């Protein structure tokens, strides 16, 4: 696959995270996450064709089943069941959020992070973009008040790390593959159990309703 | 070498978890957990003795060096006493309706769930510390997050769910950053060894070939990631919530065992980072986060209104002190490791005492607990002694380790040492204020004096006695292990 197409996929991942910051509807957020996971899936399949490593195909299959089909489906069902059409608001207002997004993106492209974005010098721009998706995902978790958005933020952070690893030439690392496999399983369990528990106890998924532990 | 003993520990813990899953007999669940943690304790002692005499083993899926042997000992001692305490504690909670669920079968299933998760939690900690691959260490530490999240939410109350959620979100971010940092250690390795599993030993022996600039960034991610699990400030925010909502024995395991495990993983990466970029870089990180942790604990101590949260802030402070010890090097490292041992035992004893307080007063608020000496006198003595011990009052070992750590740093970092002394004094006064108010004074009218359960006071007494004994006599094998750690890390 051409570098241009890979760059396009990474831009899709980046844009989906920006969209996750902007959107107010939970279903739109789930859809954006599904698209993001699909982009990761295509990147993994591309790596399989380039390297011939069969384990990558297995990981891609797993990503397809869990991240592209199961997780979005599960979240959509949860939204439908609990009528959670709109997500909880953000801590920062929209203009400020956009300013922070721009700052974080610029930060990822700064010389401070050049040691890691230069791991493969030919991919420096792509690695900087992948790093900025990591920062934006982190900010999504911090800035969103909804438990569902926070989970999507964590899953998005994981997608960003995978994207970075692929462009850093680490996709064949057994460590990455085992790590992805394990993380997916863990978060599927957590999302399944905890979202329901929170909704049952607090009547909403807005984490600002959690005030029992304030001293 | 040592693989059989390790497998024996893991098999016994997994078998106990399986038995708890299959059995509905409470007695069988308790006995199987007790036997498993007992086996883990005996085997850990055996492994530590062997490592001290015959040296480390770095081949195979598991590796055992001096650091791992000491951490295994800590997990085993705290794990065994926590299991013993849990049995009686859960019985009391059940009888006093604290678990908060109606129906005998429901209660039985909650107790069963507790012991399944307890055994799995311990098994994951043993795996995380002994596994020879950094990626598997990461996986097993993440696995502890899952098992402990359900233990924090054990009481199924809104505050427990809230504590568990905060713990999950903050630790998941931390653990993903640690994953990213771990991956950054691999690029330089891939060309040399193909796609196999990279081990700690391989990373250490190839440290000179790693890119220093990448390793610096990687170590920052590692430090923040695993530092979240340790509870260094400012990543500590989950700690007071999780500690205050988890059952008391789980709090003991969190502070006494999980903290050293995560700390040890940072130390393993520190050793590799030091070999690549020199020790100054990691030293500065340890000093910044160590000092910040002590300062945050000192700032909050006076306004804390919950005695379990007080213990959490004490853990943050002690993690900071240990970090400073490792930063100062030399005698500081030896003292920091010894400090870790003392802290684990004393803090676990304090958590058990806090469990006794909760059973007697039905409240974790400091203001609600008065006159403990009149209601549960043995616990009162344990609690007060524990507070003196943990804040570094003589004759307990923490007094000496603090002195050694600070003296190791006074020549090169006099300002930092002076600040720590000041903060430690504030912490001591703060703790003393809360502890003395709780122990003495007039007990509330509705609280009646009750007989303290023998198995609720034996575990904390045993831990305090062990900490006191180790303050004056360090067995030769432990001394050898600590010396080896000081030389390598």
* pLDDT tens digits in sequence order for chain B, 489 residues long: 678 889 999 999 999 999 999 998 999 999 999 999 999 999 999 999 999 998 888 778 888 999 999 999 999 999 999 999 999 999 998 887 777 555 566 667 888 999 999 999 999 999 999 999 898 999 999 999 888 999 998 888 888 888 898 999 999 999 999 999 998 988 755 544 445 578 898 898 888 888 999 999 999 999 999 999 999 999 999 999 999 889 999 999 999 999 999 999 999 999 999 999 999 999 999 999 999 999 999 999 888 889 999 999 999 999 999 999 999 988 999 999 999 999 999 999 999 999 999 999 989 999 999 999 999 999 999 999 999 999 999 889 999 999 999 999 999 999 999 999 999 999 999 999 999 999 998 899 888 888 888 999 999 999 999 999 999 999 999 999 999 999 988
The minimum CA-CA distance between B377 and chain A, rounded to whole Å, is 28
Q: DSSP characters for B245-268?
A: HS-HHHHHHIIIIIHHHHHHHHHH
Beta bridge partners of B475: none
CB contact under 8 A, A197 and B153: yes
Residue A214 lies inside a defined structural domain of this protein:
no
Intervals of chain A under pLDDT 50: none
Q: Does B395 sit behind a cis peptide bond, omega within 30 degrees of 0 on the bond before it?
A: yes
* CB-CB neighbors (< 8 A) of B143 in chain A: 182, 186
Residue A127 lies inside a defined structural domain of this protein:
yes
Residue B20: HSE in the Cβ half-sphere, 13 Å Cα cutoff: 27
DSSP state at residue B451: P
Beta bridge partners of B131: B62
What is the spatial distance between Cα A169 and Cα A117, in angstroms, rounded to a whole number?
A: 12
* CB-CB neighbors (< 8 A) of A165 in chain B: 183
Q: Please give the C-alpha separations between residue A32 and each of A36, A110, A134, A151, B376, in angstroms, as whole numbers.
A: 6, 27, 16, 14, 58
Q: Please give the C-alpha separations between residue B155 and each of B1, B150, B356, in angstroms, as whole numbers.
A: 42, 10, 17
Residue A215 lies inside a defined structural domain of this protein:
no
What is the spatial distance between Cα B438 and Cα B363, in angstroms, rounded to a whole number?
A: 12
B253 neighbors B78 (Cβ within 8 angstroms): yes
Domain holding A116, by residue range, is 3-209
Q: Which B residues, 149 through 168, put their C-beta within 8 Å of a C-beta on chain A?
A: 149-150, 153, 156-159, 161-166, 168
What is the spatial distance between Cα B274 and Cα B314, in angstroms, rounded to a whole number?
A: 29
pLDDT at B100: 57
DSSP state at residue B443: P
| Structure-token pair, residue A26 | 């939970």
Nearest neighbour of B216 by CB, restricted to A115, A187, A202: A115
Q: Please give the C-alpha separations between residue B209 and each of A47, B52, B256, B268, B275, in angstroms, as whole numbers.
A: 26, 31, 36, 17, 10
CB contact under 8 A, B143 and A53: no
pTM: 0.94
What is the spatial distance between Cα A10 and Cα B238, in angstroms, rounded to a whole number?
A: 33
pLDDT at B104: 60
DSSP state at residue B21: H
Q: DSSP characters for A83-117?
A: T--BPP-BSS-HHHHHHHHHHHHHHHTSGGGHHHH
Beta bridge partners of B64: B57
pLDDT at A211: 64
Question: Is A178 part of the contact surface with chain B (CB cutoff 8 Å)?
Answer: yes
* CB-CB neighbors (< 8 A) of A154 in chain B: 169, 172-173, 176
Phi and psi torsions of A29, nearest 5°: -65, -40
Residue A205 lies inside a defined structural domain of this protein:
yes
B104 exposed, middle or buried (CB, 10 Å; 0-12, 13-18, 19+)?
A: exposed
- Residue ranges of alpha helices (H) inside B303-411 are 307-328, 331-361, 372-375, 377-390, 397-409
Residue A90 lies inside a defined structural domain of this protein:
yes
pLDDT at B351: 97
What is the spatial distance between Cα B221 and Cα B225, in angstroms, rounded to a whole number?
A: 6
Question: Is B182 part of the contact surface with chain A (CB cutoff 8 Å)?
Answer: yes
| Structure-token pair, residue B5 | 């003993």
Residue A27 lies inside a defined structural domain of this protein:
yes
pLDDT digits (tens, 9 = 90+) for B301-328: 888 889 999 999 999 999 999 999 999 9
DSSP state at residue B62: B
pLDDT digits (tens, 9 = 90+) for A159-170: 999 999 988 888
What is the spatial distance between Cα A52 and Cα A48, in angstroms, rounded to a whole number?
A: 5
Q: In 3D, which of A87, A125, A100 has the Cα closest to residue A208?
A: A87
What is the spatial distance between Cα B342 and Cα B323, in angstroms, rounded to a whole number?
A: 15
CB contact under 8 A, A154 and B135: no
CB contact under 8 A, A213 and B179: no
Nearest neighbour of A190 by CB, restricted to B159, B168, B182: B168
Q: What is the CA radius of gyration of chain A?
A: 17
Question: Is A9 part of the contact surface with chain B (CB cutoff 8 Å)?
Answer: no
CB contact under 8 A, A154 and B173: yes
What is the spatial distance between Cα B218 and Cα B162, in angstroms, rounded to a whole number?
A: 32
pLDDT at B60: 80
pLDDT digits (tens, 9 = 90+) for B268-302: 999 999 999 999 999 999 999 999 999 999 999 88
Q: In the A/B pair of chains, how many CB contacts fall below 8 A?
A: 121
pLDDT at B193: 47
- Domain ranges in chain B? 3-488
What is the spatial distance between Cα B332 and Cα B323, in angstroms, rounded to a whole number?
A: 10
- Outline where DSSP puts E strands in chain A: none
The minimum CA-CA distance between B298 and chain A, rounded to whole Å, is 16
The minimum CA-CA distance between A69 and chain B, rounded to whole Å, is 23
Question: Is A54 part of the contact surface with chain B (CB cutoff 8 Å)?
Answer: no
* CB-CB neighbors (< 8 A) of B195 in chain A: 53, 172-174
Q: Tell me how many domains chain A contains.
A: 1
Phi and psi torsions of B57, nearest 5°: -125, 120
CB contact under 8 A, A173 and B196: no
What is the spatial distance between Cα B126 and Cα B10, in angstroms, rounded to a whole number?
A: 8
B305 neighbors A215 (Cβ within 8 angstroms): yes
CB contact under 8 A, A189 and B146: yes
A12 exposed, middle or buried (CB, 10 Å; 0-12, 13-18, 19+)?
A: middle
Does the ipTM surpass 0.95? no
């Amino acid at each position: 696959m051409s570098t241009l197409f890979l760059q396009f996929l990474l831009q899709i991942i980046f844009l989906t995270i920006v969209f996750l910051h902007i959107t107010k509807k939970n279903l739109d957020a789930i859809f954006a996450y599904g698209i993001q996971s699909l982009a990761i899936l295509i990147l993994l399949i591309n790596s399989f064709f380039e390297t011939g490593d069969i384990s990558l195909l297995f990981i891609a299959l797993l990503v397809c089943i869990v991240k592209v089909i199961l997780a979005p489906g599960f979240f959509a069902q949860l939204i439908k069941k609990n009528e959670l059409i709109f997500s909880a608001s953000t801590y920062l207002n929209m203009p400020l959020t956009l300013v922070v997004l721009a700052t974080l993106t610029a930060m990822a492209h700064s010389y401070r992070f050049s040691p890691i974005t230069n791991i493969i010098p030919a991919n420096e721009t792509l690695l900087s973009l992948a790093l900025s998706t990591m920062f934006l995902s982190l900010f999504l978790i911090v800035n969103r008040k909804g438990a569902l958005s926070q989970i999507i933020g964590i899953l998005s952070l994981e997608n960003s790390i995978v994207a970075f690893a692929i462009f850093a030439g680490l996709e064949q690392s057994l460590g990455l593959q085992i790590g992805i496999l394990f993380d997916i399983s863990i978060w599927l369990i957590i999302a399944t159990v905890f979202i329901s528990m929170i909704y049952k106890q607090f009547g909403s998924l807005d984490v600002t309703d959690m005030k029992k532990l304030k001293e | 070498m040592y693989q059989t003993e390790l497998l024996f520990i893991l098999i016994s813990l997994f078998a106990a978890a399986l038995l708890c899953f299959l059995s509905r007999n409470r007695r069988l669940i308790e006995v199987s957990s007790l036997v498993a943690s007992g086996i883990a304790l005996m085997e850990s002692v055996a492994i530590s003795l062997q490592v001290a005499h015959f040296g480390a083993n770095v081949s195979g899926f598991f590796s055992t060096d001096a650091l791992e042997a000491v951490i295994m000992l800590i997990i085993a001692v705290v794990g065994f006493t926590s299991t013993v305490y849990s049995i009686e504690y859960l019985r009391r909670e059940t009888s006093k309706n604290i678990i908060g669920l109606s129906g005998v079968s429901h209660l039985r299933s909650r107790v069963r769930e507790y012991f399944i998760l307890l055994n799995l939690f311990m098994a994951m900690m043993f795996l995380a510390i002994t596994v020879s691959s950094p990626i598997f260490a990461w996986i097993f530490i993440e696995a502890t997050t899952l098992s402990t999240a359900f233990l924090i939410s054990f009481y199924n109350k809104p505050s427990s769910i809230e504590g568990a959620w905060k713990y999950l979100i903050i630790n998941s971010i931390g653990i993903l950053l640690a994953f990213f940092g771990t991956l950054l250690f691999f690029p330089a390795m891939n060309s040399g060894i193909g796609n196999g599993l990279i081990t700690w030993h391989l990373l250490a022996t190839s440290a000179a070939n790693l890119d220093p600039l990448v390793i610096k960034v990687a170590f920052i991610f590692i430090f923040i990631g695993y530092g979240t699990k340790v509870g260094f400030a400012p990543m500590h925010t989950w700690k007071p919530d999780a500690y205050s909502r988890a059952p008391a024995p789980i709090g003991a395991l969190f502070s006494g065992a999980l903290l050293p495990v995560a700390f040890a993983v940072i130390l393993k990466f520190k050793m590799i980072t030091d070999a690549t970029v020199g020790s100054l870089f990691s030293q500065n990180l340890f000093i910044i986060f160590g000092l910040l942790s002590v300062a945050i604990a000192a700032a909050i101590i006076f306004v804390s209104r919950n005695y379990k949260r007080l213990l959490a802030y004490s853990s943050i402070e002690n993690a900071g002190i240990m970090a400073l010890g490792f930063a100062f090097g030399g005698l500081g490292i030896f003292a920091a490791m010894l400090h870790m041992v003392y802290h684990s035992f004393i803090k676990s004893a304090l958590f058990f005492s806090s469990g006794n307080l909760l059973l007697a007063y039905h409240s974790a608020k400091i203001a609600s607990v008065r006159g403990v000496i009149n209601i549960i006198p043995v616990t009162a003595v344990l609690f007060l002694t524990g507070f003196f011990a943990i804040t570094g009052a003589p004759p307990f070992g923490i007094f000496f380790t603090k002195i050694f750590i600070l003296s190791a740093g006074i020549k090169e970092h006099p300002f930092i040492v002076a600040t720590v002394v000041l903060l430690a004094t504030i912490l001591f006064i703060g703790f003393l204020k809360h502890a003395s108010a709780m122990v003495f004074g007039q007990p509330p009218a509705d609280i009646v004096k009750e007989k303290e359960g023998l198995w609720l006071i034996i575990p904390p007494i045993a831990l305090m006695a062990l900490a006191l004994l180790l303050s004056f006599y360090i067995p030769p094998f432990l001394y050898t292990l600590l010396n080896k750690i000081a030389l390598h890390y």
